[in-house]
């Protein structure tokens, strides 16, 4: 025998196989890179698969809450996730239990449209404003009991009230309409009236929407039918007034970065402003494009990273705050013009109220799996997300991720508007090219939409009277 | 590495330290914590995690990574993001290196007594020396009716497929010696090949390639592949490749049954072929002594090397894709660098022309010369004068393969099949998610679905498989050349149809004029740009210094008189 020592591979199968069928399979790992060839290309294929699966599972529609009239206002409870109030154009007010899709309470709150609903910060009561020039306060507890149909408090206004916003801490709220009024809840008369004619400008217009800033709680903003966005402070009289080229329909503050104000505009876009830079020419920080008709409402997600918009083009869109184009667009065959939109407090759902007598409940992330998940499933989803992030810039992956099916009317309108935009750009470029050098200058798109600013604090910054579009008396 | 550690320690010294000193002793990081200020407490010794040796880290390295200084400004958002990413990758490398401690099996080895050679140790001696299960793995199949035989092991090394020239086709679980089926296809069989699992296999028969299942039932007849001599299967791409008698190469996607590419090599019979497991490129050896490398994305070879002055007899590439072994009729065996082509690392002269050559997972090389098989160690480094092991088979060897994850070399001859124990040839620790010899039927089904989902597209087969994860940066030279090419390109043709206008403005002459104007405008624009670019590159006419640009009215200026001296 000339063998000194010998050692041959001999595995005991018991070490590699499960003992009984009730055990889990044993998985022996060896991370040696030579045993795992084509790492990059296999990973790429998996990324491609996961982005395709994202499309397969993209089913955002959860359910609808049926009304008897078109929905005009939505409001969520400050602390209860399932509690939502809706108001219709015929003055009907409803309280919904979202998790069961059940209407808990119905009352004829106003004679005429309910313009806006707001919850008091303690969550025990909420306010509605309607076409009948009244502001009504309702108790949540009594509503939960059922058959109670009287408000616990009523305020009378001399003009139609079209919007309401409650102060974050104090027992004060602010309404808008022909005048902007600050109310103390303990008084029947308004505490203060913010009247524009005091500042020498006669062209007042009805104010469409008003919102308190959630962080800098004395600050609030309004938008009116004369294309203005007005910034007020309850502690001082000074206001800032920014004039846009077209009307602003609704406003929303970013709840996390409360210096960002987003406006839904009649010119199919949403605009984000930085109120710290309102006096400079770059006050518009982003133009969010995508809708093919007027944008009617806007609401931020509680994380402040995204917001959604409701539009006259029968769709809602979700935007990331820093991006100009929408992340997603939701539409159904039966959904008509969307008048109001609401992001739920847990960042998972979006509610949209439309004129087809329905409030629709959507997932905020269309492919998200609802309900409890196993750890394995969760980790598989996390892995897929990471792959999508890693390979997101590859053309094949990006093409699938970006594609959205659009209804015919939106698709055609989009193409038509694209042609119009190109033609306008061509014309501008030609004008610039053939005019005397230096006479015409290129104005960036973000500055084009702003007509001017009037600032009461800084005298003579810009004269409102010389602005085009404002009539002087 | 040591330098980096020093640097780190130096950096930390600026901050107030919580520990007194930290040192690496016997592979352990020992940190002495500072006692609390009054000095009452005892000194604590914290034994940190064991430091991973740098050599081990090298094995699991995912590359050098990004040089952070070149990206963005200092402490910019991009740089911080990259920093985090790099940290994660480094962590993953380290953790996978640490996981090596969990590998249970060790590599086989054979040592001879002093004064004797391992090559003199016979298989019978080995069988006596090893345990009974290992001894059972060495066996002979005496099949002298339908030879010569071709053979192949599955990816996980569990199953064996045999195909005899005279039509004998059999598959078996060779460890338990359980025969799956045995048929005679009543036609000559030239080559056999497993597909992705042990339930499907391909056989190159006289005219066409047939696919059988594990009961011997014919599933498909692939008429796209005719008169095939050699079959290869790319498991991650699900491509069945064949080389035919007429010199055609053929890639077939077995998931769809569609031909990916069929291309003539123009170099005669294709019976010498192997795949590169690292990048899925096919390598063919030709009678004129060249080895060509093919991908299904190009009708011509991506690389071609002249390896021998005589016909190439056999070729194989090791599983890391680094080394290629070729054997020629000229009794030469050469080891090539498979990535840096055209570089011959080693060449050996063998006793006579070899018919087969095969690498094992642990880089042993076996060479079949007539009825003798020789196994060599360290062939890539050179300096092996004699064989590690030698065996004389019953007949002339026609095919051989090292069994994956086992210390076994399977050889098939004119008279049957035999498996030899070659200690230290197989990878001791398998990865169950890649290839598992102990896989259950349900596990196999699940793995099949997973493999199908991560099927790599055939378009991604390139010489460098990592190129998909890299940035495609054109070199400065290429950029400049592209710019220069733009200068000498013809003016663009403008295709313009004028809009219809009323009031006689759309007559043919008017239309032509409008067309002409637009055309001239765009061409002028283009030329202007090209001209300015030319000037930027310094290719234009040089202006004389101090010369003013000529103006229109300059012609009325009095001309300078030439003064006579």
Token readout for B419 is: 């498996």
Is B133 in Cβ contact with A9 (below 8 Å)?
no
So what's the pLDDT on residue B544?
63
Q: B561 falls in which pLDDT band (50, 70, 90)?
A: low
Q: Is residue A34 part of a domain?
A: no
* Interface contact flag, A7 B109, Cβ < 8 Å: yes
Indicate yes or no: CB of A31 within 8 angstroms of CB of B60. yes
Contacts of A16 in chain B (CB under 8 A): 432, 436-438
pTM for the whole thing? 0.83
Give the pLDDT mean for B339-368.
89
Q: Which residues lie closer than 8 Å to B411 by C-beta, 6 or more apart?
A: B151, B368, B373, B391, B393, B397, B399, B400, B417, B418, B419, B420
Distance from CA of B102 to the nearest CA of A (A): 9
* Chain B residues lying within 8 Å of A395, measured CB to CB: none
Instruction: Compute the nearest-CA separation of B317 from chain A (Å).
Output: 13
Q: Are residues A276 and A424 located together in one domain of the fold? A: no
Query: Is residue A466 domain-resident?
Result: no
CB-nearest to B440 from A5, A25, A28 is: A25
- How far does CA A430 lie from the centroid of its chain? 37
Contact residues on chain B for A28, CB-CB shorter than 8 A: 429-432, 436
DSSP of B414-446: TTEEEEEE-TT-S-SS--TTT--TT--HHHHHH
Average pLDDT over residues B374-396: 87
Residue B284 sits at the vertex; the CA angle it makes with B279 and B288, to the nearest 5 degrees, is 145
Same domain for A411 and A315: no
Q: Which among A3, A25, A28 has CB closest to B429?
A: A28
Structural domain contains residue A445:
no
Largest interatomic CA distance in chain B: 117
Inter-chain contact A30–B406, Cβ cutoff 8 Å?
Answer: no
Q: Which residue of A has its CA nearest to B138?
A: A8
DSSP B462-509: -SSGGGGGS-----HHHHHHHHHHHHTSPPPP----PPP-STTTTSHH
Q: Where are the beta strands (DSSP E) in A305-458?
A: 306-311, 316-320, 328-330, 338-343, 349-354, 358-363, 450-455
Q: How far apart are CA B191 and CA B241, in angstroms?
A: 12
Same domain, A401 and A281: no
B72 close contact with A: CB closer than 8 A: no
**Secondary structure element (H or E) that encloses residue B169, with its range:** strand B168-173
Mean of the per-residue pLDDT values of chain B:
87
Task: Tell if the CB–CB gap between A46 and B59 is shorter than 8 Å.
Answer: no
B-chain residues near A46 (CB < 8 A) = 453-454
Closest B-chain CA to A9: B108
CA dist A341 and A300 (Å) reads 10
- Residue B18: predicted pLDDT: 55
The predicted structure's pLDDT at residue A135: 94
Judge whether B407 is closer than 8 Å to chain A, CB to CB: yes
Look at B453 and A46 and tell me if their CB atoms are within 8 Å. Answer: yes
On whether both A280 and A414 belong to a single domain, the answer is no
A17–B438 CB contact, under 8 Å: yes
A219 with A329, same domain: the answer is yes
Report if residue A468 sits inside a domain. Answer: no
Which pLDDT score, from 0 to 100, does residue B546 have? 65
B474 conformational bin, left if phi > 0, alpha if psi -120 to 50, beta if neither: beta
Contact B107 A9 (CB under 8 A): yes
Report whether the peptide linkage leading into residue B148 is cis, meaning its omega lies within 30 degrees of zero.
yes
Say if CB B305 and CB B336 are below 8 A apart.
yes
Whole-angstrom distance, CA of residue B50 vs CA of residue B45: 14
Rounded CA-CA distance B113/B128 in Å is 16
- Closest by CA to A206, choosing from A228, A236, A232, A173, is A228
With respect to residue A316, please indicate whether it lies within any of the assigned structural domains.
Answer: yes
Its ipTM equals 0.80
**Nearest CB to A6 within list B110, B428, B460:** B110
**pLDDT one-digit tens code per residue, A284-317:** 999 999 999 999 999 999 999 999 999 999 999 9
pLDDT band at B50 (very low <50, low <70, confident <90, very high): confident
Least confident of B305-319, B415-429, B535-549: B535-549
Question: What pLDDT, in 10s, does the model give residues A208-266?
Answer: 999 999 999 999 999 988 888 999 988 877 678 899 999 999 999 999 999 999 999 99
Q: Each residue of A176-203: pLDDT tens digit?
A: 988 889 999 898 999 888 876 444 454 5
Q: How big is the A-B interface in CB pairs under 8 Å?
A: 144
Q: Of A9, A41, A49, which has the smallest distance from its Cβ to B428's Cβ? A: A9
DSSP-derived secondary structure for B310-371: S-EEEEEE-TTS-EEEEEETTSEEEEEESSSTT-EEEEEE-SS--SEEEE-TT--EEEEETT
A361 and A422 together in one domain: no
By CB atoms closer than 10 A (0-12, 13-18, 19+), residue B147 is buried
**Could you tell me if residue A239 is inside a domain?**
yes
Q: In chain B, what residues touch A34 (CB-CB under 8 Å)?
A: 319-320
Same domain, A334 and A356: yes
**Residue in A2, A44, A49 nearest the CB of B116:** A2
Q: How close B410 gets to chain A, by Cα (Å)? A: 15
How many other CB atoms sit within 10 Å of the CB of residue A109?
Answer: 23
Query: Per the domain annotation, does A410 fall within a domain?
Result: yes
Q: Contact B106/A31, CB-based, under 8 Å?
A: no
Residues A301 and A406 in one domain: no
Whether residue A298 contacts residue A341, with contact meaning beta carbons closer than 8 Å, is answered with yes
A311 and A416 share one domain:
no
Q: Is residue A440 part of a domain?
A: no
The CATH number assigned to the domain holding A326 equals 2.130.10.10
Q: What is the pLDDT of residue A200?
A: 45
Nearest CA-CA distance, residue A29 and chain B, Å: 4
Helix (H) or strand (E) holding B98: helix B77-98
Q: What is the pLDDT of residue B64?
A: 85
Which of A25, A37, A46 is the closest to B443 by Cβ? A25
pLDDT range class, residue B39, cuts 50, 70, 90: low
In chain A, residues with a C-beta closer than 8 Å to the C-beta of B440 are: 17, 25
In whole angstroms, give the CA distance from residue B13 to residue A288: 50
Residue B439: pLDDT over 50: yes
Asked if A147 and A154 count as a contact pair (C-beta separation under 8 A), the reply is no
Q: Give B 184-203 residues with CB within 8 A of chain A.
A: none
- CA B272, CA B288: separation in Å to the nearest integer? 12
What pLDDT, on the 0 to 100 scale, is given for residue B17?
54
- Check whether residue A49 and residue A72 sit in a common domain: no
| Residues of chain A neighbouring B114 (CB-CB closer than 8 A) | 4
Chain A residues with CB-CB distance to B112 below 8 A: 2-4
Domain boundary among A316, A336, A366: A366
Chain B residues with beta carbon closer than 8 angstroms to that of A20: none
pLDDT over 50 at B202, yes or no: yes
Q: How confident is the model at residue B37 (pLDDT cuts 50, 70, 90)?
A: low
Q: Do B111 and A6 touch (CB under 8 A)?
A: yes
A112: region left, alpha or beta (phi > 0 left; psi from -120 to 50 alpha): left
Is the Cβ of B466 closer than 8 Å to some Cβ of chain A? yes
Per-residue CA distances from B56 to B95, B420, B426 (Å): 11, 32, 20
Residues A162 and A276 in one domain: yes
**Contact yes or no for B423 and A8 at CB 8 A:** yes
Average pLDDT in chain A: 90
Report whether pLDDT(A461) > 50: no
Q: Best mutation site among A41, A48, A389 for testing chain B: the one with the most B CBs within 10 Å?
A: A41
Q: Are residues A79 and A103 in the same domain?
A: yes
Mean pLDDT value of segment B236-261: 95
Min Cα separation B557/chain A (Å)? 30
DSSP A225: T
Cβ contact A7–B457 (<8 Å): no
Span B353-382, average pLDDT = 91
pLDDT digits (tens, 9 = 90+) for A358-400: 999 999 999 999 889 999 999 999 999 999 999 999 999 999 9
For residue B209, which of B251, B238, B153 has the smallest C-alpha distance?
Answer: B251
Average pLDDT over residues B330-335: 91
* Structural domain span for residue A54: 42-58+384-429
Touching check for B126 and chain A: CB below 8 Å?
Answer: yes
Residue A22, min C-alpha distance to chain B (Å):
14
Chain B residues with CB under 8 Å of A40 CB are 465-466, 468-469
Separation in Å, CA of B97 to nearest CA in chain A: 8
Q: What is the pLDDT of residue B282?
A: 96
Name the residue among A407, A411, A406, A401 with its Cα closest to residue A55: A401
Split into its structural domains, chain A has a count of 2
Look at residue B442 and tell me whether its pLDDT is greater than 70: yes
pLDDT of residue B563: 60
* Region for residue B93 given its phi and psi (left: phi exceeds 0; alpha: psi -120 to 50; beta: otherwise): alpha
User: Which of A8, A19, A32, A56 should one mutate to test binding to chain B, selecting the residue with the greatest count of B CBs within 10 A?
Assistant: A8
| pLDDT > 80? residue B45 | no
Residue of B nearest to A386 (CA): B85
CA distance A28 to chain B (A): 5
B525: left (phi over 0), alpha (psi -120 to 50) or beta: alpha
Residues in B touching A29 (Cβ below 8 Å): 99, 102, 431-433
Q: Which residues of A touch B276 (CB under 8 A)?
A: none
Q: In chain A, which residues have their Cβ closer than 8 Å to the Cβ of B103?
A: 30
Q: What's the mean pLDDT in A263-283?
A: 93
B421 touches B373 (CB < 8 A): no
CB contact under 8 A, B121 and A3: yes
> CB–CB of A42 and B456 under 8 A?
yes
């Amino acid at each position: 025998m000339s063998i000194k020592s010998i050692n041959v591979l001999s595995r005991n199968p018991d070490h590699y196989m499960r003992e009984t069928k009730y055990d889990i399979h044993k998985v022996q790992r060896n991370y040696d890179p030579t045993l795992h060839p084509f790492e990059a290309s296999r990973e790429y294929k998996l990324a491609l698969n996961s982005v395709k699966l994202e499309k397969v599972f993209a089913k955002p529609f959860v359910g609808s809450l049926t009304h008897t009239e078109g929905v005009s206002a939505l409001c969520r409870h400050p602390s209860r996730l399932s509690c939502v109030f809706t108001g219709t154009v015929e003055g009907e007010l409803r309280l919904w239990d979202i998790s069961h899709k059940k209407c808990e309470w119905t009352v004829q709150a106003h004679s005429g449209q309910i313009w806006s609903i707001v919850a008091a910060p303690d969550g025990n009561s909420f306010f509605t404003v309607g076409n009948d020039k009244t502001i009504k306060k309702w108790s949540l507890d009594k509503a939960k009991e059922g058959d109670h149909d009287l408000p616990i408090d009523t305020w009378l206004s001399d003009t139609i009230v079209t919007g309401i916003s409650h102060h974050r801490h104090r027992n004060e709220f602010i309404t808008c309409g022909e005048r902007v009024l600050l109310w103390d809840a303990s008084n029947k008369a308004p505490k203060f009236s913010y009247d524009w004619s005091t500042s020498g400008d006669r062209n007042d217009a009805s104010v469409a929407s008003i919102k308190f800033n959630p962080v800098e709680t004395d600050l609030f903003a309004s938008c009116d039918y004369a294309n203005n966005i007005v910034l007020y402070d309850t502690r001082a009289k000074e206001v800032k007034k920014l004039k846009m080229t077209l009307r602003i329909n609704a406003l929303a503050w970013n709840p996390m970065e409360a210096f960002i104000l987003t406006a839904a505009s009649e010119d199919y876009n949403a605009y984000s402003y930085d109120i710290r830079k309102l006096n400079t020419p770059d006050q518009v920080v982003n133009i969010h494009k995508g809708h093919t008709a007027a944008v009617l409402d806007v609401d931020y997600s509680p994380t402040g990273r995204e917001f959604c918009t409701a539009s006259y083009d029968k769709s809602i869109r979700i935007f990331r705050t820093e991006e100009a184009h929408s992340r997603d667009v939701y539409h159904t065959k039966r959904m008509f013009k969307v008048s109001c939109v609401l992001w739920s407090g847990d960042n998972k759902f979006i509610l949209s109220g439309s004129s087809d007598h329905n409030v629709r409940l959507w997932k905020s992330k269309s492919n998200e799996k609802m309900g409890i998940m196993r750890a394995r499933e969760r980790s598989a989803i996390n892995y897929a997300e990471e792959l999508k992030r890693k390979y997101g810039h590859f053309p094949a992956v990006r093409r699938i991720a970006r594609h959205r099916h659009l209804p015919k009317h939106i698709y055609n309108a989009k193409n038509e508007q694209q042609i119009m935009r190109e033609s306008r750009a061509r014309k501008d470029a030609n004008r610039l090219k053939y005019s005397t050098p230096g006479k015409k200058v290129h104005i960036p798109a973000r500055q084009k939409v702003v007509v001017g600013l009037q600032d009461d604090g800084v005298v003579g910054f810009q004269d409102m009277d010389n602005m085009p579009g404002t009539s002087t008396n | 590495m040591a330098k980096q550690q020093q640097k780190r320690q130096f950096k930390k010294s600026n901050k107030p330290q919580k520990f007194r000193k930290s040192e690496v002793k016997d592979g352990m990081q020992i940190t002495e914590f500072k006692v609390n200020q009054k000095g009452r407490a005892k000194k604590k010794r914290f034994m940190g995690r064991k430091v991973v040796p740098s050599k081990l880290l090298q094995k699991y390295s995912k590359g050098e990574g990004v040089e952070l200084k070149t990206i963005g400004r200092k402490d910019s958002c991009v740089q911080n993001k990259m920093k985090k990413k790099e940290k994660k990758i480094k962590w993953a490398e380290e953790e996978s290196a640490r996981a090596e401690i969990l590998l249970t099996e060790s590599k086989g080895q054979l040592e001879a007594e002093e004064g004797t050679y391992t090559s003199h140790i016979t298989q019978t001696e080995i069988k006596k020396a090893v345990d009974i299960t290992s001894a059972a793995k060495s066996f002979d199949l005496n099949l002298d009716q339908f030879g010569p035989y071709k053979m192949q092991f599955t990816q996980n090394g569990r199953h064996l497929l045999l195909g005899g020239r005279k039509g004998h086709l059999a598959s078996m679980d060779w460890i338990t010696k359980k025969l799956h089926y045995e048929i005679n296809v009543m036609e000559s069989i030239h080559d056999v090949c497993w597909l992705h699992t042990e339930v499907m296999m391909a056989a190159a028969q006289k005219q066409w390639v047939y696919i059988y299942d594990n009961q011997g039932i014919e599933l498909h007849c692939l008429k796209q592949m005719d008169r095939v001599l050699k079959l290869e299967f790319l498991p991650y791409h699900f491509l069945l490749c064949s080389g035919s008698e007429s010199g055609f190469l053929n890639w077939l996607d077995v998931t769809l049954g569609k031909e990916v590419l069929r291309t003539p090599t123009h170099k005669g019979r294709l019976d010498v072929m192997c795949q590169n497991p690292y990048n899925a490129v096919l390598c063919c050896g030709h009678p004129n002594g060249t080895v060509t490398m093919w991908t299904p994305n190009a009708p011509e070879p991506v690389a071609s090397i002249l390896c021998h002055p005589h016909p190439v007899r056999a070729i194989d590439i090791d599983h890391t894709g680094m080394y290629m072994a070729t054997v020629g009729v000229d009794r030469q065996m050469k080891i090539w660098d498979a990535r840096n082509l055209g570089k011959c690392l080693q060449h050996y002269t063998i006793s006579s022309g070899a018919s087969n050559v095969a690498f094992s997972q642990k880089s042993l090389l076996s060479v079949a010369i007539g009825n003798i098989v020789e196994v060599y160690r360290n062939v890539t480094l050179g300096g092996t004068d004699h064989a590690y092991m030698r065996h004389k088979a019953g007949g002339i060897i026609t095919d051989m393969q090292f069994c994956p994850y086992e210390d076994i070399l399977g050889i098939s001859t004119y008279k049957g099949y035999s498996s030899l124990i070659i200690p230290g040839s197989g990878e001791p620790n398998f990865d169950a998610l890649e290839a598992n010899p102990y896989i259950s039927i349900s596990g196999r089904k699940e793995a099949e679905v997973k493999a199908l989902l991560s099927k790599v597209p055939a378009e991604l087969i390139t010489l460098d498989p990592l190129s998909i994860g890299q940035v495609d940066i054109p070199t400065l030279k290429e950029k400049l050349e592209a710019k220069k090419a733009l200068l000498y390109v013809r003016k663009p043709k403008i295709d313009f149809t004028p809009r219809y206008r009323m009031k006689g403005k759309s007559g043919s002459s008017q239309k032509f004029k409008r067309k002409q104007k637009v055309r001239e405008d765009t061409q002028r624009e283009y030329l202007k740009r090209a001209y300015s670019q030319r000037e930027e590159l310094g290719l234009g006419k040089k202006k004389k210094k101090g010369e003013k640009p000529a103006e229109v009215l300059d012609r009325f200026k009095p001309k300078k008189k030439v003064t006579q001296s």
